[in-house]
Amino acid sequence: MSPLKEVIINKQTSINPIWIMRQAGRYLPEFREIRRQNPDFIKLCLNENLSSEITLQPLKRFEFDAAIIFSDILMVPYGLNQNVEFKKNFGPVLGDLNLESISKLDEIDFVKKIYPIYKAIKLVSNNQITQNKSTIGFVGAPWTLMVYMINQQSPKLKLKENFFKDNFLINRILIILEKFLKVHIKNQIENGAEIIQIFDSWAGLLEEKDLPNYVYIPTLNLVEYVKSLNTPVICFPKGIKNYKNYCEIVKPDAICIDYETDPLRILKEIKIPVQGGLDPKVLLTDKDNLKKETKKYLDIFKDHPYIFNLGHGVLPETDPSMMDCLVKIVKDY
């Protein structure tokens, strides 16, 4: 069993596996080289040879305990035939939402459109490099995907004025997303993903009273589905204030915390394995500070099942030598 599964399933506290959100990507020169030659991000995600190569790049450099597939949560709206583009220095831009055509979409057509993602997972999980390591598949949570689909771009600071006005639209999209997210999860697992992470990047936009309808219930349905396939599931509800409530209702196998969350409070309130926490900006400082901040998390969770990770994705300007240093600090702890 891989170290990551040891911690999640067997609640092992004597090891601290490490992997990093966005570990395959922007901070690595070898990734930037591939990206330069392949400017279309969606096409890159759908090129199984290149996306599997990108997924394995960080494992060739660093002693990570898992490979997370190089893909994007917005491949699901793309599979649902909504136009998705990534604009340089702006982020994703989505086309108009045609509820009628999405409602009629067949599962087979959805799978066909994004099938290379599953082929890439198979290539990664069969590779020598990932033996004794976990291959992680992932999805966006229904709420976060719906935000992108209706808002048609990142809601960085706020949602469209009338975001909640069309209740019918919201409920339809949540039902459709649940159906196709399950299809996407199942295909990832069947092709070698041993763990699924659910990213709820915009959970923090909601008020407490709206969490049950938009976050707790839709995510719980997915969590139960992943568990029914005998696969561990990690949830990352970025920006929420009450992790305790979230864990009690959604019941993931492990919870990923963001860098604005107090780890001491988490230790006191959360019984399940914990992942993450370190501010990605710490990697932009110096090695002494990196050691101090990393040890803080390792010390706090030393008697609790803990997976080392950042509290969000690694920043593009990170020096790979700092990542190397981080991995060694965790491994030598």
Q: What is the pLDDT of residues 283-331, one digit of tens each?
A: 999 999 999 999 999 999 999 999 999 999 999 999 999 999 999 999 9
What's the mean pLDDT in 27-37? 97
Closest CA to 72 of 116, 109, 129, 123: 116
Confidence of residue 98 (pLDDT cuts 50, 70, 90): very high
CA–CA gap between residue 140 and residue 199 (Å, rounded): 5
311 and 276 Cβ atoms separated by less than 8 Å: yes
Q: What is the predicted pLDDT for the residue at 157?
A: 63
At 279, is the secondary structure helix, strand, or coil? coil
Secondary structure letter of residue 129 according to DSSP: G
Overall size of the chain counted in residues: 333
Closest CA to 281 of 257, 308, 316: 316
31 and 314 Cβ atoms separated by less than 8 Å: no
Q: What is the predicted pLDDT for the residue at 217?
A: 98
What's the mean pLDDT in 73-97? 94
CA–CA gap between residue 185 and residue 48 (Å, rounded): 17
Q: What is the predicted pLDDT for the residue at 315?
A: 98
What's the mean pLDDT in 224-247? 98
At 66, is the secondary structure helix, strand, or coil? strand
Sign of the CA dihedral with 48 first, then 53, 58, and 62 last: positive
**pLDDT digits over 241-253, tens only?**
999 999 999 999 9
What is the chain's mean pLDDT, rounded? 97
Indicate the class that CATH gives domain 3-332.
alpha beta
**pLDDT digits over 103-159, tens only?**
999 999 999 999 999 999 999 999 999 999 999 999 999 999 999 999 999 998 678
Q: What is the predicted pLDDT for the residue at 183?
A: 98
Pairing mode of beta strands 84-87, 91-94: antiparallel
CA triple 269-271-272, angle to 5 deg? 130
Helix (H) or strand (E) holding 140: strand 134-140
What is this structure's pTM?
Answer: 0.98
Q: What is the predicted pLDDT for the residue at 156?
A: 82
How many helices (H) and strands (E) the chain has is answered by 15, 9
Asked if pLDDT for residue 41 goes beyond 70, the answer is yes
The three state secondary structure string of 183-223 is HHHHHHHHCCCCEEEEECCCHHHCCHHHHHHHHHHHHHHHH
Q: What is the predicted pLDDT for the residue at 159?
A: 83
What are the two backbone dihedrals, phi and then psi, of residue 140, each rounded to the nearest 5 degrees? -80, 150
Q: What is the predicted pLDDT for the residue at 170?
A: 96
CA–CA gap between residue 61 and residue 324 (Å, rounded): 8
Percent of the chain with pLDDT over 70: 99
| Domain residue limits, the chain | 3-332
168 and 229 Cβ atoms separated by less than 8 Å: no
Question: Which of 29-38, 89-98, 176-185, 214-223 bottoms out in mean pLDDT, i.e. has the lowest?
Answer: 89-98
